[in-house]
Amino acid sequence: MRTEIGLLRTMLLIRRLEAAWAEAYARDEIGGIPPALSTGQEAVSAGACAALEPGDVVFTTHRGQAPQVARGLDPTRIMAELYGRRTGYNKGKSYHVTDVSRGVIGMGGIVAAQVPVAAGMALAQKLRGTDRVSLVFFGDGAANEGAVHESANLAAMWTLPLILLCENNGYCISQPVAVAVKAASIADRAAAYGLPGALVDGNDPLAVRDAVAAAVARARAGGGTTLVEARTVRLGGHLAHDPQHYRSREEIAAAWEACPIKRFRARLAAAGLLTEEASARMEAEIEAEIAAAVEFARQSPVPEPREAFEDLWA
Amino acid sequence: MSRFDRKLFRPGGAVKPEEREWPSIRGAINEAMREEMRRDPTVFQMGEDIAGAPPFGVTTGLAAEFGLERVRDTPCSEVAVVGAAVGAALGGMRPIVEFQFGDFLSVAIDQLTHQAALLRYLTGGQVRVPLVIRLPCGGGQGTGAQHAQSLYSWFAHAPGIKVALPATSLDAKGLMKAAIRDDNPVLFFEHKALYRTRWPVPPEFQDPDHVIPFGRAAIRRAGDDLTVVATLTMVHHALAAAEALAAEGISVEVVDPRTLVPLDRETIVGSVRKTGRLLAVDEAYLTCGIQGEILALVTERAFGALKAPPRRLGNPGVPVPFAPPLEDAVLPDAGRIAAAIRAMVTP
């Protein structure tokens, strides 16, 4: 998935998988807490995960489906989890999907809580003498949590192989980042921790990939932690049911103009890397893949009540 | 009864000649961690000042033997350190975290109760989170309200956390070994007033594989008229009370659960079925405290065996004060335990 076409495919797969999730929620086919979608933010996960290798570990946020897809998790088992089925990765216990074998730890129930845990994974990677790294996603809202500040300082002090990836989508639920962060950027905070910081266009998967790849290379070589801020735009609401009354129509329309998938597809077409035909074929394949995932989820059994009492203790 | 005056637990007291060969609780915990770090290279430590200047001396000498990579002094960042322990545990390590005072765990409670405790469940059993957090606790030393609490009821209340409370040197060593080898998060509450106390031990204390399994209470003294369930210092206060009451013809059984999660319900219920009376004593705040859980357990399971209403002693719900006369006023002691027992067994 490191190729340009691979990145586009990942982004489309994220978009379509999440759309199917939101549609299932709108149809009342699944209930519970509404879907947290990454619509418009796909380039961040696609680009960042393209810079990783097996054995590296990512820690996700409440908006976690994008990195799950980008790390190659099986869409059928993701969808089954979102449907609350026992065939899901977490056996219906959490929509923060985890697949340890592919290095995805699903967190996000508590904003920023994944950041110190990722620092600990990086510590384990270092103490065990590996050259593997950890990458943790967190939002602009989470950036104001103490857990992030403490972890950044600890990671800096201990030279941990960690990438702090701030996925700045412009909003903390309804709060624009401009009224929650006084400084010009979150990346600038890196200097205060004694870390290198990078600000990248989060709607450009190649820019994200390259910035994260540089951070990963540094971490693998024993150079420690990097803070990367990827600026993107949330196109949907905080959760799928959010009508976004706090944003103007003009703002949302402008954001859709900057849609990373639209932009990247045009770029690849202009570069001669993607024909109309190839694009249509890719979309049809993804459509079929997601339809199969939904069908798998629908046909999967719900958990047995007794399973509520399992998996607490090791 | 004056032998168990709380002041005797205060630092600075001379070691009695007959106790010189006995291990202290502090030394027992140190020895357990040292042996486990020798046995298992994944065991490592994090905490404030634990390498450079261990506040209660529990980690003394470990940095010299194992180095600063495995005995890591941390910044004053409780959230990051507990979170790092969770992540390191996910990554195949077995971290031990020291808090200088257990009360400070309140700062990092989310990382414990929502992350360490829940991640295995939330991931459908994909991960294990083996970690130990060491929490100096308890009053009686004038350390003040934010350094003297016994907050294990908070965590026994939450799913996914084991809770150990050692009252003797043998238990301190054996329970710590069990805690380190456990694949779940364990809170290890160490009463500050007990650190320097020394207790006789059997030969198996020296056995590096002598582990005291969680969930098995110890009957510290057998008796027929009443069961006292107590932990940490209150075990020793209860034993002093029992000794005094024996002279009055009152026979008291003292049960030390040793771990609250898991709780040895069978031993507690079995004891009350025998004696017919229950007094639960702890420094914990009474409201929603562990004492109430023990009373509930017994009234649900052995109501018919009760000859008198069960009672509980504990901090009635005020901060643990700084000045010694105020502190003594809110914590149970041998005298109050004896008075409660007399009232319960007297027709």
Phi-psi sector, B233: left (phi>0), alpha (psi -120 to 50), beta: alpha
Per-chain mean pLDDT for chain A: 96
Domain that holds residue A52: 4-301
| Contact residues, chain B, for A57 at CB < 8 Å | 91
| Interfacial residues of A (vs B; Cβ cutoff 8 Å) | 57, 88-94, 96, 98-100, 105-107, 109-110, 113, 115-125, 127-128, 134, 146-147, 150-151, 153-154, 157-158, 310-314
Is the dihedral angle over the CA atoms B113, B117, B118, B123 positive or is it negative?
Answer: positive
Distance from the Cα of B177 to chain A's closest Cα (Å) equals 17
Residue A227, judged by CB atoms within 10 A of its CB (0-12, 13-18, 19+), counts as buried
Residue in B70, B83, B124 nearest the CB of A116: B83
Contact A57 B123 (CB under 8 A): no
Contacts of B120 in chain A (CB under 8 A): 311-314
pLDDT tens by residue, A178-227: 999 999 999 999 999 999 999 999 999 999 999 999 999 999 999 999 99
Alpha-carbon dihedral of residues A168, A173, A177, A178, nearest 10 degrees? 160
Q: Is position A311 within any domain?
A: no
Q: Which one-letter amino acid corresponds to residue A136?
A: V
Judge whether A220 lies within some domain: yes
In a domain, A172, yes or no: yes
How confident is the model over A64-105, as pLDDT tens digits?
999 999 999 999 999 999 999 999 999 999 989 999 999 999
For residue B18, count other CB atoms closer than 10 A to its CB: 9
Q: Cβ A311–B124 below 8 Å, yes or no?
A: yes
Distance from CA of B76 to the nearest CA of A (A): 9
The amino acid that residue B151 corresponds to is L
Beta-bridge mates of residue A164: A136, A227
How many angstroms away from the CA of B249 is the closest CA of chain A? 45
Which of B177, B192, B180, B175 has the alpha carbon at shortest distance from B262? Answer: B175
State the average pLDDT for chain B.
95
Best of A150, A162, A164, A311 to mutate (most B CBs within 10 Å, chain B): A150
In one-letter notation, the amino acid at residue B16 is K
Residues of B labelled as active-site residues: 147
Minimal CA separation from A280 to chain B, in Å: 36
What does the pLDDT look like over B7-60, one tens digit per residue?
444 445 677 888 888 999 999 999 999 999 999 999 999 999 999 899 899 999
Instruction: Determine whether the interchain pair B91/A125 forms a contact, defined as Cβ–Cβ distance below 8 Å.
Output: yes
Structure tokens at A303: 């958990």
| Residue B3 pLDDT > 50 | no
**Bridge partners of residue B71, in order along the sequence:** B45
Give dist(CA B210, CA A223) in Å, integer.
42
Report CB contact under 8 Å: B90, A121.
yes
State the CATH number of the domain containing residue A100.
Answer: 3.40.50.970
Q: Which residue of A has its CA nearest to B44?
A: A127
Q: Please list every residue in chain A whose beta carbon sits closer than 8 Å to the beta carbon of residue B81.
A: 116, 154
Give contacts of A132 with chain B, Cβ < 8 Å.
Answer: none
Contact criterion met (CB < 8 Å) for B111 and A127? no
Q: How many domains does chain A have?
A: 1
- Phi and psi torsions of B330, nearest 5°: -105, -10
- Residue A190 tokens read as 């890196």
Which tens digit of pLDDT belongs to each residue from A33-52?
999 999 999 999 999 999 99
Chain A residue with minimum CA distance to B158? A312
Does a structural domain hold residue A309?
A: no
* Chain B residues lying within 8 Å of A64, measured CB to CB: none
Tell me phi and psi for residue B100, to 5 degrees. Answer: -65, -40
Q: Is residue A209 part of a domain?
A: yes
Angle between helices A4-26 and A205-220 (to 10 degrees): 110
A312 inside domain: no
Q: Which residue has the tokens 């509404």?
A: A34
pLDDT value, residue B4: 46
Q: Is the ipTM of this complex over 0.95?
A: yes
Measured between CA atoms, the residue of chain B closest to residue A132 is B91
**Mutation for testing the B interface, residue in A154, A164, A304, A307 having most B CBs under 10 Å:** A154
Instruction: Return the half-sphere exposure (C-beta side, CA atoms, 13 A cut-off) of residue A194.
Output: 12
Q: Which of A193, A191, A185, A179 is nearest to A148 (CA)?
A: A193
Report pLDDT digits (tens) over B73-125: 999 999 999 999 999 999 999 999 999 999 999 999 999 999 999 999 999 99
pLDDT of residue B13: 62
Residue B44, phi then psi, degrees to nearest 5: -145, 170
Residues A229/A71, Cβ–Cβ less than 8 Å: no
Residue B1 confidence (pLDDT) above 60 = no
Compute the count of residue pairs across chains A and B with CB atoms less than 8 Å apart. 150
Whether residue A117 and residue B77 make contact (CB cut-off 8 A), yes or no, is: no
Residues of A in contact with B69 (CB under 8 A): 127
- Alpha-carbon radius of gyration of chain B: 20
State the average pLDDT over residues B175-198. 97
Distance CA B172, CA B162 (A): 15
Residue A314 included in any domain: no
Distance from CA of B256 to the nearest CA of A (A): 24
pLDDT of residue B319: 97
How do residues B135-178 score in pLDDT, each as one tens digit? 999 999 899 999 999 999 999 999 999 999 999 999 999 999 99
Q: Does some domain include residue A42?
A: yes
- Tell me: pLDDT of A2 over 90: no
Interface of B with A (CB under 8 A): 44, 69-70, 72, 74-75, 77, 79-93, 95, 110-111, 114-115, 119-130, 159-160, 183-184
B181 in Cβ contact with B32 (< 8 Å): no
Domains and CATH numbers, chain B: 22-206 (3.40.50.970), 218-345 (3.40.50.920)
Residue B124's closest chain A neighbor by CA?
A: A90
Q: Which residues contact B334 (CB under 8 A, 6 or more apart)?
A: B1, B4, B237, B238, B240, B241, B244
What single string gives the DSSP state of each residue in B62-99?
Answer: HHHHH-TTTEEE--S-HHHHHHHHHHHHHTT-EEEEE-
Min Cα separation B203/chain A (Å) = 31
Nearest to B88 among A88, A93, A124 (CB): A124
Phi-psi region of A131 (alpha: psi -120 to 50; beta: other; left: phi over 0): alpha
Please give the residue of chain A at the shortest CA–CA distance from B128: A314
Question: Chain A partners of B74 at a C-beta cutoff of 8 Å?
Answer: 154
